[in-house]
Each structure stands twice: as C-alpha cells, then as structure tokens.
Amino acid sequence: MQIDESWYICPSKAALRTSAGGVIVRIEKGKARIALVEEQPFGIYILPKGGVEKGEDLEKAARREIEEEAGLSDLQLVEYLGTRGHLAFDKQKWITTHFFLFTTAQKVGKPTDPEHAYTCEWFPIDGLPEMLWPDQRELIESCRERIERLMP
C-alpha cells in the first residue's frame, strides 16, 4: 500500500478517532535506537500506537498500546510530542494520534495483543527502514535534537 498526500486530508463527514502512541528510544553504545513495530505478514514498519479507550488518559493509552504492539513496558516519559492525523485504512475515519517520547533500557519486548502478530525491532535513527506512514518518519526526524540530548 502506498500512502500519498490524499491520506492526510480530512473529509468533512469523516468519523473521528483519537489514538495515542510513542517514539521509544534506547541508547546503546552511545547511539540512539528507535523501536518500530512490524505487523506480520505486511512487512512494513510503524510506530506503536492505537485507540484511546473511554475514560483513559492519553499517556496511559500510549503506554498500553506500546506494550500491546511492541511489548515494551519499562518506559520513562521524556515529553509530549504533539499530534499527527491521517485517514484510517477504510478512508472513512480521521485518526488523530497523540505521540509521546519515551526512553527505555528494555531490549526485548513480547507484544501482548492477541489479535495481531506484531514484532518489535530496534533501528538506528540514521538507518530507519521504509515506514508505512511518512508522517511518522517525519515525527522521528523532527525530534532528532531531543533524542540526541538523551545520549551521554
């Protein structure tokens, strides 16, 4: 599937959905590594994120979704990164995702979502693979300076 600019235009009658997730950074040998999730069998990477449940605050939703999709639970909040929006796959819903920057020392995660086959992989910030959503890559790039400040 190719995501182009049409995915970033909200139709006036689109249903709205709120989502939360994160950019997760692990420092290894003085280099920043970013956690990305791949859902089998699609073979393309995304940042872990998903729907906010009724009554759930945004940070808790981000932590829950990261644990479900990436299996990472030992997360330290660095800061709120803002929102990104795009259409859902059915192009009937507009999803606004609130992103947080987290750090972790956790190397391996076991995703807990029983309905999807996720794997979590770590990539150097200068060696990110192809990602499904261009705005997610742009988000990582836009917080590069913040990420570099985390390194010793």
Chain segment 61-119, per-residue pLDDT in tens: 999 999 999 999 999 999 999 999 999 988 999 999 999 999 999 999 899 998 888 99
pTM for the full model? 0.95
| CATH code of the domain made up of 15-149 | 3.90.79.10
| Domains in the chain: boundaries | 15-149
Kindly tell me the burial class for residue 13, based on how many C-beta atoms sit within 10 Å of its own C-beta (0-12, 13-18, 19 or more). exposed
Q: Which residues pair with 96 in a beta bridge?
A: 18, 85
Q: What is the mean pLDDT of residues 124-148?
A: 94
pLDDT tens for 16-72 read 999 999 999 999 999 999 999 998 777 889 999 999 999 999 999 999 999 999 999
Locate tokens 């742009």: which residue?
138
CA distance 86 to 104: 28
